[in-house]
Amino acid sequence: MNSIALKVFEVLEDEEWHCRGHEYKNTGCTQLAGSGGIKGLKDGNGDRPGIEIKSGNNFCVECNKTTRQDIWSGQFIIQSSSSSISEKLQLKILQQYMYKDIVEQTIRPANHLTIDHRFPKLRWSDTYAEKDKTDMSANEINARFQLLKKSNGSASHNHLKSRACEKCSRYKKRGTPFGIKFYYEGDETWQGMSDTDERGCHGCGWYNFDKWRKALNKFIIDKKE
């Protein structure tokens, strides 16, 4: 975020109404409604998500007249993508996982995260994607999705998973996250009843990294005892 946009955001971050007549004077923004100010914050960019800002005409005691004012709702705007997941469901998933990537367990902005289908797309049946267009319960979200980190100069976790799944699809040998050969169910051989059988992925760390990590930690503790 550039310095001017940051100063404008610092005015709005308390989630209260702010008057354009006098409250933005120290930001250095000469075109407050433009791309360097309100519009730029709404739109976001490759480095940060947009933010939801509402604008309206309200009476300002300081200016003693009705002025144009803005308020941040506190919500970030999910960037549009080619994903089959609806925007409403994307937000629900991000909020359920509290914007935390499952591998590094780090809270990140929405545009630094990938909503990952546990079951890889290359194995989907024709009807699998249709479920993304419906509302889901917390349990359904947990069964279907996890959050992975996008690239920030290093390889994205989603990219690493995709390469592992492609090899598994070809050779029926399951992935080893970061070279760790451990499975919480089964072994390295993918054993689904058909190419679209999701049960063949159960036990792989890339399928459910949270469950994999917990099982691996338990295995290590049990070995020590």
C-beta of residue 5 within 8 angstroms of C-beta of residue 41: yes
Beta bridge partners of 45: 48
What is the reported pLDDT for 78?
A: 59
What is the reported pLDDT for 81?
A: 47
What is the reported pLDDT for 77?
A: 67
Strand ranges (DSSP E) for the chain? Answer: 18-19, 50-60, 65-77, 113-117, 145-149
Q: Please state the pTM of the whole predicted model.
A: 0.65
Each residue of 92-130: pLDDT tens digit? 999 999 999 999 999 988 878 899 999 998 899 878 877
Q: Residue 10: helix, strand or coil by DSSP? A: helix
DSSP track, 125-138: -TTGGGGGGS---H
Report for 19-23, 89-93, 201-205: range of highest mean pLDDT: 201-205
Quick one: average pLDDT of 11-26?
91
Hey, CA dihedral for 66, 72, 73, 79, is it positive or negative? positive
State the Cα–Cα distance between residues 71 and 47, nearest whole angstrom.
Answer: 22
What is the reported pLDDT for 155?
A: 65
Hey, CA dihedral for 131, 137, 138, 139, is it positive or negative? negative
C-alpha of 180 from chain center? 25
Between strands 113-117 and 65-77, the pairing is unpaired
Quick one: average pLDDT of 185-202?
95
| Predicted confidence (pLDDT) at residue 151 exceeds the cutoff of 70 | no
CA dihedral 184, 188, 192, 198 (to 10 degrees): 50
What is the reported pLDDT for 45?
A: 66
What is the reported pLDDT for 150?
A: 82
Give the list of residues 6+ apart from residue 35 with CB closer than 8 angstroms, or none: 43
Question: pLDDT band at residue 144, thresholds of 50, 70 and 90?
Answer: very high
What is the reported pLDDT for 153?
A: 46
- Enter the tokens of residue 213: 């990590």
| Predicted confidence (pLDDT) at residue 209 exceeds the cutoff of 90 | yes
What is the reported pLDDT for 46?
A: 56
What is the reported pLDDT for 73?
A: 85
Quick one: average pLDDT of 31-42?
81
| Predicted confidence (pLDDT) at residue 134 exceeds the cutoff of 80 | no
State the Cα–Cα distance between residues 64 and 217, nearest whole angstrom.
Answer: 63
What is the reported pLDDT for 80?
A: 44
